[in-house]
């Protein structure tokens, strides 16, 4: 089985006057931005097998067309009224978008993501249509030192190199939290603002602008490596998420230590 992912970018304004723009070279987005329109990105992830002759599982242009024919008009209707757009039932909307898209792509869509801001995406999967995955990214800055007290100086230097510097060093850590949130009877789901508040209180407040080895009790006895940080963040969030509406569950946490290093944790059982 192959998984093919296609990103489609588009800009919307309540007035669809830009529908006649050329459809080629859509990397930047099509329809293009007009004035103070809105920018969106969707990711369609399909699963299947490649045709032995063409090597294609599905032509990416078919995915573009399906998104433009089925997702864009629904999104345009959803934003037509500013007040209604603010209160839209995001769970229902995601389910409607998926249900409209799936037959146009022969039901090969495994999941569909709507990127709402550079840091926030909503995801719906074909086998869990009663749940939305909310993915949000955050950042904190912290200092740390990698050091094992049982090692001698040479062993510490060999193992951790410049990361063993006694005065420590810093990173701008990026954290991505993925929460599975049930869609309620009104089509609503956990709001990103509610998730942000939990992450802020339970994670950012504890780690931001701290020296992890000195200020954070969880790292008094274990190294603040990215592997340990991601598990500590998971543990901080578990009680915090109990404050969200019933049934919201932590699905995945990722921590980037640098642009090149990321560690992901899906809990002790996965």
Ligand X SMILES: Nc1nc2c(c(=O)[nH]1)N=C([C@H](O)[C@H](O)COP(=O)(O)OP(=O)(O)OP(=O)(O)O)CN2
What is the footprint of ligand X within residues 37-96 (CB under 6 A)? none
Identified binder of ligand X from the candidate list 180, 232, 257, 265, rule CB under 6 A: 257
CA distance 34 to 75: 16
Residue whose CB is less far from ligand X, 16 or 161: 161
The answer to whether residue 209 is catalytic is yes
Partner whose binding site includes residue 238, from Zn ion, ligand X, none (CB under 5 to 8 Å by kind): none
Name the active-site residue from 70, 147, 252, 257: 257
For residue 141, the cross-strand partners are 172
Question: Which stretch in 33-41, 80-88, 115-123, 257-265 sits in contact with ligand X by CB under 6 A?
Answer: 257-265
CA distance 225 to 233: 12
The answer to whether residue 202 is catalytic is no
Partner whose binding site includes residue 270, from Zn ion, ligand X, none (CB under 5 to 8 Å by kind): none
Identified binder of ligand X from the candidate list 48, 225, 235, 247, rule CB under 6 A: 225
Burial class (CB in 10 A: 0-12, 13-18, 19+), 17: exposed
Question: Which stretch in 57-65, 156-164, 227-235, 241-249 sits in contact with Zn ion by CB under 5 A?
Answer: 156-164
Burial class (CB in 10 A: 0-12, 13-18, 19+), 211: middle
Taking each helix axis from N to C end, the angle separating 72-79 and 90-104, rounded to the nearest 10 degrees, works out to 160
H-assigned helices in the chain: 60-66, 72-79, 82-86, 90-104, 153-160, 192-199, 205-207, 212-215, 226-241
Question: Which stretch in 13-21, 26-34, 199-207, 220-228 sits in contact with ligand X by CB under 6 A?
Answer: 220-228
Q: How far is the CB of 202 from ligand X (least distance, A)?
A: 21
Question: Token pair of 181, please?
Answer: 């949130």
CA distance 75 to 9: 13
CA distance 222 to 191: 34
What is the footprint of ligand X within residues 187-216 (CB under 6 A)? none
Query: Which residues, at least 6 apart from 124, have a Cβ–Cβ distance to it below 8 Å?
Result: 94, 95, 97, 98, 111, 112, 131, 132, 133
# of chain residues touching Zn ion (CB under 5 A): 1
The answer to whether residue 163 is catalytic is yes
258 lies in the binding site for ligand X (CB under 6 A): yes
For residue 171, the cross-strand partners are 142
Q: How far is the CB of 143 from ligand X (least distance, A)?
A: 10
Residue whose CB is less far from ligand X, 64 or 257: 257
Q: How far is the CB of 257 from Zn ion (least distance, A)?
A: 6
CA distance 32 to 39: 9
Question: Which stretch in 89-97, 100-108, 197-205, 254-262 sits in contact with ligand X by CB under 6 A?
Answer: 254-262
Residue whose CB is less far from ligand X, 136 or 223: 223
- Chain position whose Cβ is nearest to Zn ion: 163
Which residues contact Zn ion (rule: CB under 5 A)?
A: 163
Residues acting as catalytic residues: 163, 209, 257
Which residues contact ligand X (rule: CB under 6 A)?
A: 146, 163, 169, 225-227, 257-258, 260-261
């Amino acid at each position: 089985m192959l998984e093919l992912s296609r990103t489609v970018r588009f800009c919307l304004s309540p007035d669809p006057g830009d529908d006649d723009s050329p459809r080629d070279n859509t990397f930047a987005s099509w329809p293009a931005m007009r004035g103070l329109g809105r920018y969106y990105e969707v990711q369609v992830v399909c699963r299947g097998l490649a045709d032995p002759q063409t090597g294609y599982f599905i032509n990416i242009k078919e995915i573009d067309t399906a998104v433009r024919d089925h997702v864009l008009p629904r999104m345009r209707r959803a934003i037509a009224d500013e007040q209604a757009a603010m209160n839209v039932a995001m769970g229902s909307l995601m389910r409607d978008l998926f249900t409209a898209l799936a037959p146009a792509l022969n039901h090969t869509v495994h999941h569909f993501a709507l990127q709402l801001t550079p840091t926030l995406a909503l995801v719906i999967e074909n086998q869990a249509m009663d749940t939305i995955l909310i993915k949000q990214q955050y950042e904190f800055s912290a200092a740390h030192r990698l050091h094992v007290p049982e090692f001698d100086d040479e062993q510490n230097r060999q193992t951790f190199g410049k990361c063993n510097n006694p005065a420590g060093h810093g990173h701008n850590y990026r954290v991505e939290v993925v929460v599975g949130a049930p869609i309620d009877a009104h089509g609503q789901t956990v709001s990103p603002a509610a998730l942000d508040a939990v992450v802020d209180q339970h994670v950012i407040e504890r780690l931001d602008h701290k020296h992890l080895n000195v200020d954070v009790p969880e790292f008094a006895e274990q190294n603040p490596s990215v592997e340990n940080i991601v598990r500590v963040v998971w543990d901080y969030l578990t009680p915090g998420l109990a404050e969200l509406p019933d049934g919201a569950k932590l699905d995945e946490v990722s921590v980037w230590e640098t642009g090149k290093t990321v560690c992901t944790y899906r809990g002790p059982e996965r």
